[in-house]
Structure 1
Amino acid sequence: MEPTALERAIEAAGGTKALSRKIGISSQAISQWQECPPLRVLEVEKVSGVPRHELRPDIYPAPVEGAAA
């Protein structure tokens, strides 16, 4: 089974403890996430490199090819 965007973000950040240190919350809080909370998406994107539209496609639609930014 392919890892979720959140799982990829945690791995890219160096694990749950590393991600928690980088965004300033407890690793226990991250362990309880089923998906990235809306208020944490931009922080997780910044430290992991996993795009916001992959972390929360319900909030951030995928960019459209060729569309003006």
Structure 2
Amino acid sequence: MIRELIQEAVRILGSQAKLGAACGVTQASIWQAMEVQRCSAELAMAIEQATNGQVRAAALRPDLPWPAQIDQVEASAISEVTS
């Protein structure tokens, strides 16, 4: 799943080197993230920004609580309290 998402980002930007440059990392860092199918939260956010949101950080790192997810949890908790 992660490999495919990074490959999509590579396709959008044109190459691993271009994606790396847009994210402030090397081509080797992009290759490594694809191979191990994991990337840092910072790289996930950089990929989202580099792809103009076409590849989401939350999809690359679903294990982390992203702001939209936190907002959903808080809204759910509030509605339970007020119900």
TM-score normalised by structure 2 residue count: 0.59
Q: 1:36 is matched with which residue?
A: 39
Residue 19 of structure 2: aligned partner: 19
| Unaligned ranges ≥5, structure 1 | none
Q: What amino acid maps onto 2:64 in structure 1? A: I
Structure number with higher helix proportion: 2
What count of residue pairs does the alignment treat as equivalent? 63
1:57 aligned to which of 58, 62, 68: 62
TM-aligned CA deviation for residue 44 of structure 1: 0.6
Match of 2:81 in 1: none
Percent identity of equivalent pairs: 24
Specify the structure having the higher radius of gyration (Cα).
2
TM-score between both structures, scaled by the size of structure 1: 0.68
Segments of structure 2 that go 5 or more residues without pairing to the other structure are 76-83
4+ runs of 1 displaced by more than 6 Å?
none
Q: CA RMSD in A?
A: 2.2
